[in-house]
Structure 1
């Protein structure tokens, strides 16, 4: 709970700093605050506390692990923000504050034990993101992204809230354990309202994580939003969405898996093919990453389709690998956009000669996203596929492997452009804080890929 309190109070402190024009202190105070929140979260590891506040919240190892990865990802993204928001507006404190308010909602999402808290956390996060998507008020694309995200987000929230209401109507409780007990006590002749509620919750959550066929807002919103905000949405927000998805289904709905699993299987297959096939035809690196994020949502759904005691660890490993690789990709994209004014694949031509360091870290990120061995992304896919095989879903793994092969083509387009195509563009400058974030993320990607025991030896998170 201390972690949530720190993250909720920190943006208020930043707003006061902005009020007194202490903009130079915003980033250092944010970093210190997030490190303190991370430290308090880690201290809760293996504490196995019972649900608190009338069983509304549960800060167990699951919560600690996903709080940790979301805080670290937010920290890395904000370290790239030096001078970024100043180009948009003089009111920089508000931008930091809104991001941290969104993170507070995310902490609630990964720690809830009651459906009302899931809804509250989701809305705190979503309302903040609607603002962040349109934060560049002078950019028409940013305004369009904000409007689309708001309309689609409100639409999906309606599905989710209606589903929660139907679940309550059938079980007379919002508590996850009480819902589980009700399902166990009524194995047959279950209220039709309950099944309808489960389907509506699946639809609402699939909207939030960008799974097909509920993905149509994702490419336009990701492309139109400021790049730094897109990085936040595609990593931190997606991780939180799947953590919330997994907690609900692993605690409350696992005993009726035969009902909802076929539906999620179909959604998983559609998501994989839509994300990968559409990414093949993109000419914009940023839009390619947007469709790529859809395909990764498909891989993450494996852990829920093949629900088991190891699903929490599989999602954690995959989300960690995906987040750090995506942060590298968006950081390099940000530098290319700022210095060359374009996000097309041609902008990366000759990057291997113009800046070998940038080309190297981006190559590591692309290899990880493609799932090439000796990278964290390979370990993430391995655990997802292993979980599905253990549940005898061989055909699903075969389709996923086919999609992984397809993804190699568009990820390697960037590598080919960097090393095998020439360009007369000037060399790119890399600030020191970019070097730290890129170097740390690339090193983490390789270390997890080469020494996976660092993360695989964790106790089961669910």
Structure 2
């Protein structure tokens, strides 16, 4: 709760900082504010809080852990907005304020204990993202991305809200614990069809938010058109909050309906892995490849939902937490390098990375670590992220799903190695100069690479938290 209050206050304060007409104040100011929020969130670990807002929001270790991921991700991402500072972007204060407000929505999605709080959190996060997707007003691709995201997001939100209404009609409550009791012992058997349709519609609505197939169709175009900085935020923070909310819905409110939703989640998982990996392999644009890659990673996280079998704590929940952390760090590193290169070379295709190993060894090294982690290569956090998820699934007997996921991981090797080939085996464009990287960006890139390697060497210090 402290994190939500601080972010709301800091978001408004950040708008007032914009009146100073000095972008140089905004970036360090936003980072310091987020570091303060991160510290306040950490202080809530193992502290017992009474539920807030009439039992609509809870702050427990589950909430603190996933909130820590979204805050850390945003802190590590902010240095790559440096180009907005140096260009004198007139709307920078508004951009940072929207990011802070969107984090409020993300935390509500993580800590909700009431379906209306989930809906409010999703809307706060989504509306901020609709605006940021179209923040490059003079770029037709950005305008197209914002329009597509808004229209399809509005339909998905409508479906989600209709599902919430049907669940209420079938059970008479929005509270998760009461929902679990009502689903386990229905008072009126004739309302079961309404309950199942409501569950299905909620799965569709949240599936859209996390880019799970077959509700992923918006992802490539929106990710490609959105400014790269905000694409990175969208593919990490939104996905982490979405899966934290998804797990809580299935594990706290609907464990008794597992026989209904489990086949649906399994089918979504297999389809997401297939379409995400095959789609990424067909791309020639690095940004679109990362978009389809984001879809494929939603498939791996869905394996965690399958393996959880309606339990909020345990091996599967810890695996989802670890995977979300490793994926977020590697994705911020990849998008950070891509943004720096694209700003300088004006090319976000694989060819834009040509020769980067010679002109910018640090950028090439960080991108290499990120790609290897996303591919699940040993000695990176991504390897243990996949290992923990697949081990949890094997422990629950889902051998066929695990074998399919391993095959899809082999497909992933193909498209994750393409940036490495471009950076180290292709010559740099004629007349290419080194990509400029300032001090704070250099430090952030080194930290991202070290964190990824650290998670791959000593994963025990972050696994088993939940």
Band the TM-score falls in, shorter-chain normalisation: over 0.9
Report what 1:350 is aligned to: 355
Report what 1:331 is aligned to: 336
Task: Say if 2:180 is the partner of 1:180.
Answer: yes
Report what 1:285 is aligned to: 286
User: How far off its partner does 1:387 sit?
Assistant: 1.2
Task: Say if 2:463 is the partner of 1:456.
Answer: yes
Gaps of 5+ in 1: none
* 1:153-168 pair list within 5 angstroms: 153-168=153-168
* 1:95-134 pair list within 5 angstroms: 95-134=95-134
Residue pair 1:88, 1:136 contacting (<8 A) in 2 also: no
What is the DSSP-based 3-state SS (H/G/I as helix, E as strand, rest coil) of the residue aligned with 1:261?
helix
Cα displacement string for residues 426-462 of structure 1 (whole angstroms, at most 9, x for unaligned residues): 222221121111111110000010001111142x2xx
Query: Which aligned runs of 4 or more in structure 1 are off by greater than 6 angstroms?
Result: none
Cα displacement string for residues 330-356 of structure 1 (whole angstroms, at most 9, x for unaligned residues): 111111111111011112122111111
- State TM-score, norm by structure 2: 0.96
Q: Give the whole-Å Cα distance in 1 for the aligned partners of 2:81 and 2:423.
A: 25
Q: Give the whole-Å Cα distance in 2 for the aligned partners of 1:112 and 1:440.
A: 32
Report what 2:383 is aligned to: 378
Alignment equivalent of 1:432, drawn from 411, 436, 439? 439
Q: Give the whole-Å Cα distance in 1 for the aligned partners of 2:256 and 2:85.
A: 48
What is the DSSP-based 3-state SS (H/G/I as helix, E as strand, rest coil) of the residue aligned with 2:377?
coil
User: How far off its partner does 1:80 sit?
Assistant: 1.5
Report what 1:235 is aligned to: 236
Q: Give the whole-Å Cα distance in 1 for the aligned partners of 2:355 and 2:187.
A: 62
Cα 1:454/1:120, change in 2 over 3 Å:
same
- State TM-score, norm by structure 1: 0.97
Q: Give the whole-Å Cα distance in 1 for the aligned partners of 2:440 and 2:123.
A: 32
User: How far off its partner does 1:257 sit?
Assistant: 1.0
Deviates more, 1:76-85 or 1:177-186: 76-85
User: How far off its partner does 1:185 sit?
Assistant: 2.1
User: How far off its partner does 1:155 sit?
Assistant: 0.4
Cα 1:188/1:302, change in 2 over 3 Å:
farther
Q: Give the whole-Å Cα distance in 2 for the aligned partners of 1:196 and 1:48.
A: 36
Q: Give the whole-Å Cα distance in 1 for the aligned partners of 2:52 and 2:257.
A: 27
* 1:195-274 pair list within 5 angstroms: 195-274=196-275
RMSD of the TM alignment (CA)?
1.4
Residue pair 2:171, 2:186 contacting (<8 A) in 1 also: no
